[in-house]
Structures are given as structure tokens and as C-alpha cells.
Structure 1
Amino acid sequence: MLIGLLTAIAASICYGTGSVLQAVGSRKSARREADASGVTQHGGPNLSSTAKAAMTWEFIVGTILDFIGFGLGALAARLLPLFLSQTVISANLVITAVLSVRMLGIRLARKEWTSIGVVCSALILLATAAGHEGGSHTPIATHWWLLVIAVALTVGGTLAVRLLGARAAILAGLLSGLGFGALGVGVRVLNGVDPFDLSALLSDPALYAILVAGIGGMYLHTVALQIGSVNGATAALVVGETVLPGAIGVLWLGDASREGLAWMAVLGFVLAVAGAVAVAWFGAPEGGEETAQAEEPQPGELAKSSPSGV
């Protein structure tokens, strides 16, 4: 349990730091595309714009941290109940919010800090109440359904961004979270891991669900960071990444809380989701003219916003 918790915390730190660095890179690219050549007819970023965002050094470093976080998160998903591992990993929201103050010049209101405090308190409740991890063996049909869901999330999210444009920020964050949630479930049920069996691993649809969900989730998260609030997009991601995998773990995989502490697990889970939703709600106004002003500091103020001058 302790190793799993430390692994999940480390994954959370990697994901949170990576999100802010990706946001820096995405917004730097977005300013270069301010002539509207990098947007669709509905106002959202096109594939070329997103690809350019992914080529900034900040985004590349953030992506490397995401891959490290993915590896640590995959290990945590095998060591802990999903409702605990996914929620602890989703606490990267706190890391994202704190670092965004320094690196993006975002000022968090008291309501946002309170919401972050609620998330932290909820994680403590969850860690205290978490019991044994359930099984990982499920019918192969479930693995096929997971692949179908991963493809649907990726394709549906891409279409939504193209149709809704800048209005799709929170939706893109939510769908990216659902994609990462599907990834977490896929890691948990993946065949051929323990004991290792390469043929079973390569023939398992869950492996390809992991790949599709990971790539789709990364793309949609990048888009959400380009067009919306970094805290709002990340909070929406937290909801999608936490709720569905946690429910699947309890209902189908046998994850459980400690005896007599089910109420604490439920309370912690609800508070974690509510706190994330609150951050998304209160962070939504960050965008438009205020964000533009925050992202375009005067030359004399640039050095104050970040040690690296970003």
C-alpha cells in the first residue's frame, strides 16, 4: 500500500508539472498563431496549430514528464484500488494550480484555494479508507468494449473541438480525462503482465485501448490547454479520470474500502470530485482579455514572472 501511494504521488507530481509546462508551450504557440491561420472556422485550434504547440521545448519536457507519470501511474493502478490510485494521481490539479501561479502569472482566488484544500482533504480521507485491491481478470469482451470506448472518446472529442471551437475547452478536458481513465482501467485488466506473456499481451485489445486512449487523451488535453483555463481544463480532466475508473473498480473489479470505513471512502470520493468541479467552475473566467494580459507581460515584468523568463 505504501509503495503504491508513493508511486501515485510521484505520478501526480510529474503530471501536474507536465501540464503547466505544456500550457506554457501551448500558449506560446497560440500567440504565434494569433493571425487566425492556426484555427478552424469555429475558432478552435487546427491540427497544424496543435502540432506546433507540441514542438516547443516546454511542451516536449512536459510530455516527457507525462510519460514518466504514465509509467508510475500504471504501476500504481496495479498496486492500489482504482478509486484510490486514480484520485491520488488526479491530485496533480494541486501541483498544476500552484505552479500556474508562478509560471503563467495566474492569480488564484480564495474560492479556488478553498476548492484545492477540499481536494487535498478528500485525498486524505480516501487514503485512510482504502482497503484491498480487487482482481484484474475480466472477460475478453470487456477488453473489446474498452477499445471501442477509447476510439469513440478520441473521435468524438476531435469532432467536438472542430465544431465547438473555443467553447469546447472544458468538454475537451473532460473527454481527455475519460480517455486517461480508460487507460487506467486498461492497465489494470491487461493480460500478459503477471506472469509476463508476450503473445497474450499483444493479442489483448486492452493494450490497443491503452494506446488509443493515451494518444487521444494527450491530444484533447493539449487542445484544452490551448483554448481554455489551465486549471479549469485540468479540473475537468480530474473528474473524467477519477469517477468512471473508480466506479468500475468497485463495481466490476472488486476494489473495496476498509471494513467499516466505506462511508469515509464515499465521502472522500465525492469531495474530491466536487472540489475538482469547483476549481473548473471558478477557473473558467481565466481566458479572453484577462488571460491575454497576463500572458503578455511588459518587458520589465517578464523576469519577475518566472526564473526562466517564460
Structure 2
Amino acid sequence: MGTQLIIDTDPGVDDAFAITLAALGTDVDLLGVTTVFGNVPLAATTRNAQRVLALCGRADVPVAAGAERPLVYPHPHRARYAHGVDGLSGRAEALPEPARELAQVDAVNLLVTLLEAAQEPVTIAPIGPLTNIAALLAAHPGVRSKIDRLVIMGGGLSLGNVTPAAEFNIWSDPEAARRVLVEDEVPAVLVPMDLTVRCAVDADWLGTLRASGPIGAALDALTPDYRDYYRKALGWDGTVLHDAVAVAEAISPGILETERLPIEVDCTPGPSRGATVVDRRRIEVAERAETSSVVDVAVDTDLDGLRGFVLGRLTRGAGDRP
């Protein structure tokens, strides 16, 4: 049995790549997928997750819908500027219809059921806002022992994308992010956009994926709006698969280099709301509150190796399925 994994997600183009990376892996036991508001509203993120799993031939994987809004404040806007009106560059309906009905329980209840049934600790990869995970840990603290670690795509050490200070996933629900990253004690790896942007892939990479088979071609077909956005953001013809980088670490622990760092999440209403603040000063001089939380923050990787890892798994998997 491979890595036991649950993905909590808000698809999203990069989420679609991340789900596929796990769904095609023969060394991954994908137990379930839960959805959350984020890049687009909950109904769309849920439908997108179901369609991506259908593309991968994974009718065995249950999907449950979760939070439709943040814990405290309304979500100011979606990410249509990058992901398109439906989250998948306006091309969601080109994917297969869902092959399995939506679970009749909500995301938190599905998470509890899957964790309690697992024979060994499970990795959870939250790659959207952390609302579902915060609710899970608050309402069901007994499941902590069944979680091996959280591998979270979110935050920025030195930059943001939705604001100069904040990355989209954390900014979408800072109170939930603080509950998970600062107030809880579940082992966590935070994969920030500082690193995921460095892992950007180019047109040749996408061309190889497109030529690999029906799944690769379908994934590439979801990227036009996203790719247009990243041409502007990067200044060259490439795209950033943020969430796939986190899922790569979830299924291949150690593919990313990490540092244990104290962390805070800014929940104030000012211009730094949603910022992840890590203390990289030497411990001998850093003045930290006793309540400071320490998480493993991904800071580096073999960039070409990471790109090759993701591409190799997607293309091999794409060739194995019709």
C-alpha cells in the first residue's frame, strides 16, 4: 500500500493537475477528495473535482462538498482573473461528466469517516482555503492521531499574489489558516508560493504533457486563461502549478527541502491581512512568544527534478488509461 492521502481542494487549474497527480499514482491510496470555496464558488469547485476524477477513471474516490464561505468574514472575490469563469479556463464541461454521485455527507464528516477507518495515519493535502481543516480540528480533535501530517499549499514568505502581502489560499480565510497553522499541533508542511513560483513549467513541458495521451491533452486544454495570467505574472510563457508541488511532497516525502520555522498568520483588517509571517532569525536572537507555532516550511527543491517528477507521473499515468 502506498501513501494514504486525502485532498482538500478548490479546483482551479493547478488543483486539477494536483488531483490527477495523485489519482494516477499506483503508489498512492487516494481515499477521498473534499471541496471548499476558493478559486470559484463551492458548487463549481465540487463539480470540477468530480470531473477531474472522472477523467482519471477514479469513480472509486468519494467526493464531499465542504465550506462555502470563510469562518468569519465574507470572501471578497474569487480568482476568475486567473482560473476563468468556471475555475478551469471556461472548459470544465469538456471534461467527462462525474462518474460518481456526490457523497451525502459534508466534507468534515467524510474526513472523519475516512480517518477513523484508516489502519494507519493519513496524509491530508489541503490545497485551497483551510476552512474545512480548521472545522475538522475544532469539532473532532480526536482525529489528530489519525493524521500523519498536513501538506498545505499556501502562504508567502516574501511576496503575495492576491495582495502584496498575502497568498490567495491563506488570504481567503486567515482565521482558519491561523487555527490550523498556529493554534493546532498536527504536524504540517507549508508549501509557500515563493517556492511554487520557482517550480514554474514552460511551453515545452506543457507540450510534452499534451502529446502524452488523452489525459495529458485534457489537462493542457484547461490552461489557456491560467497560462495567459502567468505570462503576465512571470514575464515569459510559462505557468505555475502551485498545488501540484504540494501534492508531490505529500506523495513523495522529502522531495521538497524544509526548514522548521515559527509562524504567524495576520488576521487583522489592514493591508497585511492574510500574510504568513515566519521568523527566519537565528534562534539565539529571536524573541518569540511562548505560544509561537513551528511548522516545516518548504524552501527549496531540485527544480528540474521536481518538474520531471510531476511530468513523468502525469505522462505515464496518462498513457495507462484510455
Q: TM-score range by the shorter chain?
A: under 0.3
Which one has a larger percent strand, Structure 1 or Structure 2? 2
Q: TM-score by structure 1 length?
A: 0.27
For CA contacts below 8 A with separation 6 or more, give which structure has more relative contact order. 1
Q: Which is higher, the Rg of structure 1 or of structure 2? A: 1
